[in-house]
Chain A
Amino acid sequence: MSIFDMEGYNFYVWTSVFISFLALFLAYYDALKKHKDVVKMIKNRNQSE
């Protein structure tokens, strides 16, 4: 069986896979960025005091 030959369902299955992984990546990236930004803000504040 070839996973890239799904009898006309290729678009539906692979789009689902793509958007699901993209959402997981964006969710973690957003959380990581929020954390980095806050830590940076606190460090800048500490240095200026």
Chain B
Amino acid sequence: MGLKAIYKYGSPPNFYRFVTRLEPWCLYFGLLLILIGSAGGLFLAPKDYQMGDAFRIIYFHVPSAYLSMSAYAAMGFASIIGIVWRSNVAFSVAKSIAPFGALMTTIALLTGMLWGKPMWGTAWVWDARLTSEFILLLLYLGYITLHASIREQKKADRSASLVAILGIINLPIIHYSVVWWNTLHQASTISKLDSPSIVGEMLWPLLVMIIGYMFFFVAVICRASSAEVLKREKRSSWVKAI
């Protein structure tokens, strides 16, 4: 993304028009992929030889875990743009991402617990992967709480953005936690696409689900951030024309 694009879509009316056009495409495409991926994962993929049918939780756990981290990276990136260019649009995007990211982190933790209970014999252990993912949830909640607790909009945006930017350090920790420390959590399944630790019949629904979740995420953020931009620009002439 070049500087020209940042300046172009940094303009609230341009951004609003762009995201309202983009949202339905991402929503329908994302939902279609999620349906195909769910059917593939639940009905077509063979059962795992060790975990049996319990492994099917992977089709819901991994996409939400991927999204919890990608959403945080996007929130951090939007916060950096917001602080550097003082862009109201970027702050709106960052603010819109936080609740969705927190929800996806919660789902990643809950589905992980539902998977861990029958496989590990316990739903929770304080190992590096689980703990760092839990810290991610606290970072999201910290961002949301801090933003909500400061009345002045600009001050709230800047303060919450600092939390978002500082929290980026947690992302590589989550990703490499299974490499750096001995964890009960298994190593990455598809970090190397040329030699994934999963067969093709089990892999394709997972990839379809991850891409579907990503499109769905873009659709939700388009809708939520367009609402936030309208709210902030309610006194502008272009908003009155809507």
Residues of chain A within 8 A of B150, CB atoms compared = none
Interface window among B164-172, B175-183, B220-228: B220-228
CB pair B64–A12 under 8 Å, yes or no, is: no
Contact of A34 among B27, B107, B219, B227 (CB under 8 A): B227
Interface window among B79-87, B98-106, B196-204: B98-106
Chain A residue with the shortest CB-CB distance to B107: A23
Chain A residues touching B, majority SS: helix
Within 8 A of A (CB), among B187-242: 216, 219-221, 223-224, 226-228, 230-231, 234, 239-240, 242
Bound CA–CA A39/B53 (angstroms): 46
Known A-B contacts A20-B60, A24-B216, A31-B227; A7 and B52 likewise in contact (beta carbons under 8 Å): yes
CB pair B103–A23 under 8 Å, yes or no, is: yes
Residues of chain B within 8 A of A13, CB atoms compared = 42, 53-54, 56-57
Shortest C-beta distance, B12 to chain A (Å), equals 13
CB pair A6–B54 under 8 Å, yes or no, is: yes
Shortest C-beta distance, B106 to chain A (Å), equals 8
Bound CA–CA A46/B238 (angstroms): 12
CB pair A15–B114 under 8 Å, yes or no, is: yes
Map CB proximity to A onto B105-141 as digits: 1 under 8 Å, 0 otherwise.
Answer: 0110011001101100000000000000000000000
> Quick check: is B89 within 8 A (CB to CB) of the other chain?
no
Residues of chain B within 8 A of A42, CB atoms compared = 230, 234, 239-240, 242
Shortest C-beta distance, A47 to chain B (Å), equals 11
Within 8 A of B (CB), among A10-34: 12-13, 15-17, 19-20, 23-24, 26-28, 30-32, 34
Chain A residue with the shortest CB-CB distance to B42: A3
Chain A residue with the shortest CB-CB distance to B53: A6
What are 8 A-B interface contacts by the 8 Å CB criterion?
Answer: A6-B53, A16-B60, A23-B103, A28-B27, A28-B219, A28-B223, A39-B242, A42-B242
Interface residues of B (CB under 8 A from A): 27, 34, 38, 42-43, 47, 52-54, 56-57, 60-61, 64, 96, 99-100, 103-104, 106-107, 110-111, 114-115, 117-118, 216, 219-221, 223-224, 226-228, 230-231, 234, 239-240, 242
Q: Which 5 A-B pairs have the closest CB atoms?
A: A6-B53, A31-B224, A35-B227, A31-B223, A34-B227
Interface residues of A (CB under 8 A from B): 1, 3, 6-9, 12-13, 15-17, 19-20, 23-24, 26-28, 30-32, 34-35, 37-39, 41-42, 45-46
9 additional A-B pairs beyond A9-B54, A23-B106, A32-B223, beta carbons within 8 Å, are: A6-B52, A7-B53, A9-B52, A9-B53, A16-B60, A16-B110, A31-B227, A38-B234, A42-B234
